[in-house]
Amino acid sequence: MDYLNVGTYDGKIMSALYAPARVEQPKQAPGIVLIQEIFGINDAMQKLATIWSEKGFNVLCPDLFFRQQPGLTLDPRKPEEFEKGVQLMQGMELDPTLSDLESTRAHLATLLGHENIGAIGYCLGGRLVIQMGAQNKIKAAVSYYGVGLEKVLPQVPAMAAPSLLHLAELDDYTPAPVIEAIAKNVDSRDGWAYYTYPDCDHAFARPEGAQYNAEAATLAQTRSHEFLNALLG
């Protein structure tokens, strides 16, 4: 893995972690924009970048907090750092952030020489990946326990990228009525799917996290891999 410089729409430079696909000819493999939680490109995101690269994807994970505090990595187990992440999330502006994600996708497409690119997001990224997919530039989106999706999905057009959503049954951010609203919206869309994970809490797929559930995380990875392979080849 290494860090690359990505030029943004407004002439700034954003750092992004690059993990090439672990295959014989990596540039022929599909690409994934990996979208962070609220803690920057920390150990968990680095581990996830490795996991997806080992599954045969070229992974590029941008530092979406670079406009506020570049290079910051936070430990969610420390209350003061968790709160810092919340503050940074609240300080993000949606339009520039989506433009930064598109700059990341475009940079990856240029690097690989093809447009066979999807995106995966966790928590904050689980919402942003659906909003990114609404721009119809990526070919597939995978959302892990996205926050606020019940408000986002009604605004997502029918032509958005096909998406797979992973929802945790015990997640306080998505109580039963919210999951029901999300499920109803997803069921109305062609090529979309969702799964609910019983006895799992928010961030059940964060490596070494407090709510990590190895069985559910592995199952979600398998489902995501199958979904992405079907759409990205």
Active site residues: 123, 171, 202
Give yes or no for a contact between 182 and 194, defined as CB atoms under 8 angstroms apart: yes
Give yes or no for a contact between 118 and 142, defined as CB atoms under 8 angstroms apart: yes
β pairing state of 13-19 and 58-62? antiparallel
22-58 per-residue burial string, b: 16 or more CB within 10 A, e: under 16:
eeeebeebbbbbbbbbbbbbbebbbebbbbbbebbbb
Phi and psi torsions of 79, nearest 5°: -55, -40
β pairing state of 13-19 and 2-7? antiparallel
Pairwise CA distance, residues 81 & 73, whole Å: 9
Dihedral angle sign, alpha carbons of residues 106, 206, 93, 143: positive
β pairing state of 31-35 and 58-62? parallel
